[in-house]
């Protein structure tokens, strides 16, 4: 007498939110070397900010050569992507420390430093075979309202960062004519440039090598490059904002919205709130016209902002 055996159909497991967003699992064995490289970038930034900028330039130049060599020698495509994308971190600092910009207007520093960095970013993306779609360089009309909604969030976050270290304004007068071109410069040479590097190129490489922990890793690199402002609170703030931007860019597969938000943060931080906040908070001047420029020209000007 034969016995019938009932077979229950397999129930498909519902993917988690992280998996639905495109996040792979975490390969723990991959994190040791990238963690050491992150420690190296952190040490170089500490040397630059707290010991000597020239020595920091040497440290970052060594890291740049090391990342290029490691990417060329590894047989793992995912590690190569991570190592070569990391070259952009020391490249940012080398550009800010090596170009002779002291006698030029402060706002001209951003494009003069940014053009070589853009070149490095696009050359790296080309060498890694990344397409415009891979980098999130697209605008989905259906998601446009969601992307544009990040602009007011950027201004709110800009106020938060202003309250952390209260920088001097980058322009002398609070007029549309004086704010328009600097605003576009900050949008293109901080907002778009840094989102292209961190939330597009480096984030894609980190996710492919480190799995879902790549989001944490890339924003630790992003935050470490703010050590030059000598504010632990600002480093934490930048990490959290960068992580928020990473999730949004990953979910929408576009860096359009985070670029606008990033630009809005820096426009608010350096062009708007240095004029408005002292009056609103009752802590500063009342005459908005003959304002002085920054009292101290920072030695590190190209540090990314969130």
pLDDT in tens, 218-244: 999 999 999 988 899 999 999 999 999
**What angle, 0 to 180 degrees and rounded to 10, lies between the N-to-C axes of helices 106-127 and 176-186?**
30
| Mean pLDDT for the stretch of residues 193-198 | 96
| Mean pLDDT for the stretch of residues 178-194 | 94
* Nearest to 71, CA basis, from 61, 60, 80: 80
pLDDT of residue 101: 61
pLDDT of residue 27: 52
Confidence check: pLDDT of 184 > 50: yes
Confidence check: pLDDT of 181 > 80: yes
End-to-end CA distance of the chain: 73
Question: pLDDT for 19-65, tens place per residue?
Answer: 444 555 545 456 789 999 999 999 999 999 999 999 999 999 999 99
Tally the C-alpha atoms within 13 A of residue 62's C-alpha that lie toward its C-beta.
12
pLDDT of residue 4: 46
More confident residue, 128 or 297: 128
| Mean pLDDT for the stretch of residues 189-215 | 94
Average pLDDT of the chain, as a whole number: 84
**Which residues make Cβ contacts (< 8 Å) with residue 137, sequence separation at least 6?**
196, 200, 254, 255
| Mean pLDDT for the stretch of residues 172-197 | 93
Confidence check: pLDDT of 156 > 90: yes
- 295 pLDDT band, cuts 50/70/90, is very low
Question: pLDDT for 8-22, tens place per residue?
Answer: 444 444 544 444 445
Going 295 to 296 to 301 to 306, the CA torsion angle's sign is: negative
Q: Are 227 and 235 in contact (CB under 8 A)?
A: yes
Question: pLDDT for 91-145, tens place per residue?
Answer: 999 988 876 666 667 788 888 889 999 999 999 999 999 999 999 998 888 889 9
pLDDT of residue 6: 46
pLDDT of residue 299: 40
| Mean pLDDT for the stretch of residues 154-166 | 91
The radius of gyration of the chain's CA atoms, rounded to the nearest angstrom, is 22
pLDDT of residue 23: 53
Q: Which two tokens stand for residue 293?
A: 């420029």
The 10 Å Cβ neighbour count of residue 198 is 28
Question: What is the C-alpha separation between 72 and 77, in angstroms, rounded?
Answer: 10
């Amino acid at each position: 007498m034969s016995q019938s055996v009932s077979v229950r159909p397999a129930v498909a497991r519902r993917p988690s939110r992280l998996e639905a967003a495109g996040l792979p699992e975490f390969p723990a064995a991959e994190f040791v070397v990238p963690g050491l490289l992150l420690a190296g970038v952190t040490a170089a930034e500490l040397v630059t900010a707290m010991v000597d900028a020239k020595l920091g330039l040497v440290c970052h130049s060594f890291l740049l050569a090391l990342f290029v060599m490691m990417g060329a020698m590894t047989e793992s495509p995912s590690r190569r992507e991570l190592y070569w994308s990391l070259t952009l971190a020391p490249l940012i600092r080398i550009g800010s420390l090596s170009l002779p910009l002291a006698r030029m207007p402060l706002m001209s520093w951003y494009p003069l430093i940014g053009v070589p960095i853009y070149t490095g970013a696009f050359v790296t993306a080309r060498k890694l075979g990344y397409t415009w779609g891979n980098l999130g360089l697209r605008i989905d009309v259906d998601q446009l309202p969601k992307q544009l909604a990040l602009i007011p969030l950027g201004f709110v976050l800009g106020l938060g960062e202003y309250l952390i270290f209260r920088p001097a304004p980058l322009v002398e007068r609070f007029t549309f004519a004086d704010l328009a071109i600097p605003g576009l410069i900050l949008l293109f040479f901080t907002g778009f440039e840094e989102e292209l590097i961190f939330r597009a190129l480096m984030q894609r490489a980190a996710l492919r090598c480190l799995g879902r922990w790549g989001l944490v890793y890339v924003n630790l690199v992003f935050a470490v490059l703010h050590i030059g402002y000598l504010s632990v609170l600002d480093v934490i703030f930048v990490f959290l904002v960068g992580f928020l931007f990473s999730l949004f860019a990953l979910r929408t597969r576009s860096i359009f919205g985070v670029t606008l938000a990033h630009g809005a943060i820096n426009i608010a931080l350096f062009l708007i709130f240095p004029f408005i906040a002292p009056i609103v908070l009752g802590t500063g001047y009342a005459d908005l016209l003959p304002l002085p420029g920054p009292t101290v020209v920072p030695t590190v000007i190209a540090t990314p902002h969130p």
